[in-house]
Amino acid sequence: MSSPENPSPALYAVVSHNVVPMWSEPERRSEQVSQALFGERVRRLREEGDLTLIETPDGYAGWARREHLTPCEEEMRYPAPGQEAQVSALFLPVLNAPDERAERRTLLTLGCRVELADLSDPVYATIRLPDGQTACARRDGLRTDAESEPPALIETARRFLGVPYLWGGRSPFGIDCSGFTQRVYELCGWLLPRDAYLQARAQILQPAEPETLQGGDLLFFCDDHDPRGRGITHVGIALGDGRFIHASGSLGVAVTPLKQPPYDRQFRCARRLRASGI
């Protein structure tokens, strides 16, 4: 869903719920087009009832529940510069106290950004939530940018194995094919568009010959049912051994041989990062 041509004056918000559905219309029974994730800074475009039309950092727009957004000024940043950490666990419990028996406040997912408030406890970090409240999370489930280099694409992709398929999904709770490739690349430092057909045109990618596929290359497919006529309906990540990993509607995130029907005949093209190294 694209942004309105004439949106209301831009306001901003930080996503304060772990995973927030984004609907195509201001109606919760409408199609889920994507999701906004905890810590993301979004534009608020329009409001209707208890829903807000938001635009995520990838330029995607959809309607979300207003209660899951913390309004902020344009200059405000969450996490604050120099105080940020990224969730490195697939799922990270956020607790009311630095004790594994404490009540869980939420469950964050891989890649979410949080603001560090206190690191004096050797086991638990105190984090500041977008609304200013504090909570606790295990330090071994977080990493700062200064602690390590971004992970490798294939290693990151494999962490999602077994995650169920969900149309419009972007998290380990459920994910679709382009949400999977976008999230894997984002976790490794590259931002891709949200949809598969747009990813095939991304400027950070260049054509790759099918005979020379490398691990991390994006593979694009088109099935027999292409109602929008975009020429691309599916995307996965090459493993470099004749197989690829993808979010399949029937299997969830799984590994499949490229020569396995119907993917052998549905394959359209491959793309590779222009930047050196994966």
Active-site residue set: 177, 234, 246
Can you spell out the DSSP letters for the chain? -PPPSSPPSPEEEEE-SSEEEEESSSSTTS-EEEEEETT-EEEEEEEETTEEEEE-TTS-EEEEEGGGEEEE-TT--SSPTT-EEEE-SSEEEEESSSSTTSPEEEEEETT-EEEEEE--SSSEEEEE-TTS-EEEEEGGGEE-TTTSPPPPHHHHHHTTTTPPB-TT-EETTEE-HHHHHHHHHHHTT----SSHHHHTT-TTEEEE-GGG--TT-EEEE--S--TT--S--EEEEE-SSSEEEEEETTTEEEEEETTSTTHHHHEEEEEEESSS--
In whole angstroms, give the CA distance from residue 146 to residue 139: 14
The token pair that represents 182 in the structure block: 């976008």
The token pair that represents 62 in the structure block: 């959809």
